Amino acid sequence: MKIGCPKEIKPQEYRVGLTPNAAREAVAHGHTVLIETGAGRGAGFEDTDYTEAGARILDTADAVFAEADMIVKVKEPQARERKMLREGQVLFTYLHLAPDPEQTHDLLASGATCIAYETVTDDRGGLPLLAPMSEVAGKLAPQVGSWTLQKANGGRGVLMGGVPGVGPARVVVIGGGVVGTQAARVAAGMGADVTVLDMSLARLRYLDDAFRSEFKTAHASKGNTADLVAQADMVVGAVLIPGAAAPKLISRAQLATMKPGAVLVDVAIDQGGCFETSKATTHDDPIYDVDGIMHYCVANMPGAVARTSTIALGNATMPFMLALADKGWKQACADDPHLLNGLNVHAGKLTYYAVGKALGIDVTSPQLVIKS
Ligand SMILES: NC(=O)C1=CN([C@@H]2O[C@H](COP(=O)(O)OP(=O)(O)OC[C@H]3O[C@@H](n4cnc5c(N)ncnc54)[C@H](O)[C@@H]3O)[C@@H](O)[C@H]2O)C=CC1
Ligand SMILES: CC(=O)C(=O)O
Ligand SMILES: [Mg+2]
């Protein structure tokens, strides 16, 4: 199979879909690997690293899309990339379709087969291709949130760890999954007073067992959430219902109950955001103010630490990329129900129920699609 990897074109996105190590493995499996020139540079990989791994360098994204049977990327395809997709081609990348009707319609129109990293599952109920980027974004959240809390950035002017005689910042994390756990650990490590809210009692039990000395837990009832948010200096939004649009957990009216200059970091923004006032921002212009509350809503946070993120993502995607290339997408998905859960679009049909529900589009069962 010909596997193509274009340079990412989303603003300030420096990750790349294939590392030289992944390219080397694919070549060892008998595949041809096509890399757009400069695709890896932002993550510290030169064209020569790829040619030494046995890949071929092409001059343009158009050439990569035209020749490749499968495109491996990081971010959801941008409008220009969507025009280059074609029937029969496989796209393997993050998609986040539920909050993105335009992208969904373009992918359906392309006729391509689109497998979303974020809905591939594993045996333990996890999301193995989302987890590494959630670990990164979770660790970044208190870092960017503490920067936003600084006075010059519109924040409250509160230091995360406080100083002797002055208490620490209060940080509330809503959603105690991968992002939430990492965010809570880093915020606690910075000396903040941290509480993690989750709907799942099983998850709260686990967090309490593992991290009781570092942070507190609370059930994410509306009342608890409202009380804690009103006292918070920083709130991190980290909830997920896989593949679905994020539930809105803080309304605009609630902002008036918060401390002026408090900070909302909405990591769940890639699924539409979990605060009513969230709208996606970029690394170029990451923060904005609504009613005196500072919002940070960058939808590709891990792009800021592109080298760490690229290597972590590549470690996770490699076995799935190789299965898709070795067996073809249909057989690979038939053999692995977890990979089949990643199938969101095939030949003009939507195949993921939570996306169909969010966008009001009919869904065809992925099991039916692989039998056809
Ligand atoms: N902005 C960015 O750059 C990035 C965003 N993300 C996003 O971060 C979000 C969280 O991802 P993960 O931590 O990997 O998900 P996860 O599945 O590990 O954790 C989500 C948690 O939210 C909880 N939850 C669901 N509904 C809730 C509610 N109404 N109230 C309280 N808790 C609730 C679940 O019980 C679960 O523990 C996702 O939307 C993901 O796509 C991930 C990486 C990068
Ligand atoms: C998960 C995701 O959307 C990202 O890493 O950018
Ligand atoms: Mg994202």
- Judge if ipTM > 0.95: yes
- Residue 184, pLDDT > 90, answer yes
- Residue 372 pLDDT: 85
**Which numbered atom of ligand 2 lies nearest the CA of 303?**
6
Say how far apart CA 48 and CA 62 lie, in whole Å: 21
User: Model confidence at 318, in pLDDT bands (50, 70, 90)?
Assistant: very high
Q: Of all protein residues, whose CA lies closest to atom 5 belonging to ligand 2?
A: 133
Q: Residue range 109-131: average pLDDT?
A: 97
Tell me if 318 CB under 6 Å of ligand 1.
Answer: no
Say how far apart CA 278 and CA 265 lie, in whole Å: 9
Strand ranges in 82-198 using DSSP code E only, listed in sequence order:
90-93, 113-116, 170-174, 193-198
Residue 316: inside a domain: yes
Q: Residue range 342-351: average pLDDT?
A: 98
Give me the catalytic one of 96, 100, 106, 266.
96
Q: Residue range 220-235: average pLDDT?
A: 98
| pLDDT digits 0-9 by tens, 319-340 | 999 999 999 999 999 999 999 9
Tell me if 268 CB under 6 Å of ligand 1.
Answer: yes
Q: Residue range 118-139: average pLDDT?
A: 97
Same domain, 72 and 147: no
Q: Percent of the chain having pLDDT more than 70?
A: 100
Residue 124: inside a domain: no
Same domain, 110 and 147: no
Residue 363 DSSP symbol: B
Tell me if 305 CB under 6 Å of ligand 1.
Answer: no
Residues 6 or more apart in contact with residue 314 via CB below 8 angstroms: 18, 19, 21, 22
Q: Residue range 99-108: average pLDDT?
A: 98
Q: Name the closest ligand to CA 309.
A: 2
Q: Name the closest ligand to CA 265.
A: 1
Mean pLDDT of the chain: 98
- Residue 190 pLDDT: 98
Q: Residue range 46-62: average pLDDT?
A: 98
Give the end of a domain, one of 270, 299, 328.
299
Cα-to-centroid distance, 148 and ligand 1 (Å): 21
Q: Residue range 208-230: average pLDDT?
A: 98
Tell me if 181 CB under 6 Å of ligand 1.
Answer: no
**Which numbered atom of ligand 2 lies nearest the CA of 117?**
1
Q: For residue 294, give the H/E element and its range.
A: strand 293-296
Say how far apart CA 149 and CA 160 lie, in whole Å: 9
Residue 241: inside a domain: yes
Tell me if 140 CB under 6 Å of ligand 1.
Answer: no
Cα-to-centroid distance, 249 and ligand 3 (Å): 19
Q: Residue range 220-246: average pLDDT?
A: 97
Q: Of all protein residues, whose CA lies closest to atom 2 belonging to ligand 2?
A: 300
Q: Of all protein residues, whose CA lies closest to atom 4 belonging to ligand 2?
A: 300
Tell me if 273 CB under 6 Å of ligand 1.
Answer: no
Residue 349: inside a domain: yes
Residue 125: inside a domain: no
User: Model confidence at 166, in pLDDT bands (50, 70, 90)?
Assistant: very high
Q: How many domains does the chain contain in total? A: 2
Say how far apart CA 358 and CA 350 lie, in whole Å: 12
Residue 199 DSSP symbol: S
Q: Is 96 a catalytic residue?
A: yes
- Cβ–Cβ < 8 Å for 145, 210: no
Residue 126: inside a domain: no
Nearest 10 degrees: CA dihedral of 106, 108, 111, 112? 80
User: Model confidence at 71, in pLDDT bands (50, 70, 90)?
Assistant: very high
Query: Among all chains, which residue has been given the structure tokens 């603003």?
Result: 11
Reported pTM: 0.96
Same domain, 115 and 141: no
Q: Which residues surround ligand 3, an ion (CB under 5 A)?
A: 270, 299-300
Give me the catalytic one of 106, 193, 270, 336.
270
Give the end of a domain, one of 299, 320, 339.
299
Same domain, 146 and 210: yes
Same domain, 153 and 277: yes
Tokens linked to 30: 């008998």
**Which numbered atom of ligand 2 lies nearest the CA of 302?**
5
**Which numbered atom of ligand 2 lies nearest the CA of 313?**
5
Q: Name all residues whose Cβ lies below 6 A of ligand 2.
A: 75, 94, 118, 130, 133, 270, 300, 302
We report the CATH number of the domain holding residue 51 as: 3.40.50.720
Query: Among all chains, which residue has been given the structure tokens 């993550």?
Result: 43
Q: Residue range 250-260: average pLDDT?
A: 98
- 319 is in which domain, residue-wise? 2-119+306-371
Same domain, 172 and 212: yes
Give the end of a domain, one of 263, 280, 299.
299
